[in-house]
Amino acid sequence: MNCNIAVIKGDGIGPEVVTQAMKILDAVGEKYGHTFNYEQLLMGGCSIDVHGVPLTDEAVARAKASDAVLLGSIGGNTSTSPWYKLPPEKRPEAGLLKIRKELGLFANLRPAYLYEQLKAACPLKEEIANKGFDMMIMRELTGGLYFGSRKTEEIDGVMTAVDTLTYNENEIRRIAIKGFDIAMKRRKKVTSVDKANVLDSSRLWRKIVEEVAKDYPEVTYEHMLVDNCAMQLVKDPAQFDVVLTENMFGDILSDEASMITGSIGMLASASLNETKFGMYEPSGGSAPDIAGQNKANPIATILSAAMMLRYTFDLDKEADAIEHAVKQVLIEGYRTCDIVSEGTTLVACDEMGDLIKQRI
């Protein structure tokens, strides 16, 4: 297969971790007979330094012309970097918002997986952590409360703020279809999370999810109220496969799910549009505190590249190979500084990349 990938290394640790992910993709290409063509684009602080804006229209056009985007991270130290003296629409993060909007990325996927070797970092009780968990939080990214109209005004001398939560059936249907499609690639279970006992938008959500579920007879599905889901995530996370939910609930639940895995440096993510196109990036930021020191954990970015192979290119076997190689280095006791513990071997960012590459 010939795969055209727009690569945005970005700022901080971005270039270090993306370089490792490209190394792994090349090893996969060599072993399984694929060609990965990379086009490097600027976004974030590095684009401000060169072009004066965090993302040029030309970079957007080139990203759109690719099959997928592999992103590191953008931004700098928000207290000391000169990028944060600029008006908000010129800062690094504005590039990220612009590219998400331009590419129509409405489905955000964040896997939360507990590695056997990293169980000690899980903040849950041992008997819960021992059962392990492997879930995909699927969050709607472009609708709901964060995009509804809002205002703050004084009514009869009292300051009053209003935010509106709007979803139409098309927005719900397209994310539900993605959720069930992804469940078909996993353990075939969807938990749709809402607040249907109170909210109209949730009642519509539930109705549309039920309609979509009819097209996926192999997938088991259930509805769960968001407050219960927040509790179940810490009580029995092993029960979840795909957790499908709207924007704000997903924002909160995906952070809760990532917290119980114990390490930000291990967490991949993907944002998809209606086609197979996606943007793949680690969940963490640009970590300016360790940037340029060859210390960062590249695993989240490497696992994001695996997600790209699985969800954009349908290369499941190749994605499995990367995930197995990552597990193997952990079993053998290699760790970057963020996950190192007694009895394990500390390695640098590029060494971790090499070790994973050798195990592909």
- 3-class secondary-structure state, position 155: strand
Min dist CB 337 to ligand NAD, Å, is: 7
Would you name the residues annotated as active-site residues? 146, 195, 227, 251, 255
Q: Which is nearer to ligand NAD, 29 or 285 (CB)?
A: 285
Write out the two tokens for 53: 């804006």
Check if the beta carbon of residue 302 is closer than 8 Å to that of residue 21. Answer: yes
Residue of 129, 141, 119, 86 lying closest to 251 (CA atoms):
141
Told to check if 285 binds ligand NAD by CB under 6 A, we report yes
Min dist CB 82 to ligand NAD, Å, is: 13
Among 9, 25, 63, 93, binds ligand NAD (CB under 6 A): 93
Among 117, 261, 286, 312, binds ligand NAD (CB under 6 A): 286
Min dist CB 235 to ligand NAD, Å, is: 27
Which amino acid, one-letter code, is at 356? I
Q: Which stretch binds ligand NAD (CB under 6 A): 130-138, 253-261, 279-287, 325-333?
A: 279-287
Distance CA 179, CA 202 (A): 16
- 3-class secondary-structure state, position 148: coil
Give how far Cα 113 sits from Cα of 177, 188, 237, 253, 261, Å.
23, 16, 10, 14, 6
Q: Which is nearer to ligand NAD, 213 or 291 (CB)?
A: 291
Size of the site for ligand NAD (CB under 6 A): 23
Which residues from 236-255 bind ligand NAD, rule CB under 6 A? none
Q: What are phi and psi of 72, to 5 degrees?
A: -85, -100
Distance CA 58, CA 96 (A): 15
Distance CA 98, CA 64 (A): 12
Helix 57-65 to helix 92-102 angle (10° resolution) is 40
Which residues from 47-86 bind ligand NAD, rule CB under 6 A? 73-76, 78
Min dist CB 242 to ligand NAD, Å, is: 22
- 3-class secondary-structure state, position 32: helix
Min dist CB 348 to ligand NAD, Å, is: 11
Among 95, 262, 284, 353, binds ligand NAD (CB under 6 A): 284
DSSP 54: S
Residue of 177, 144, 163, 111 lying closest to 246 (CA atoms):
144
Q: Which is nearer to ligand NAD, 212 or 307 (CB)?
A: 307
Which residues from 21-40 bind ligand NAD, rule CB under 6 A? none
Residues that bind ligand NAD (CB under 6 A): 13, 17, 73-76, 78, 93, 96, 264-265, 281, 284-290, 296-297, 300, 338
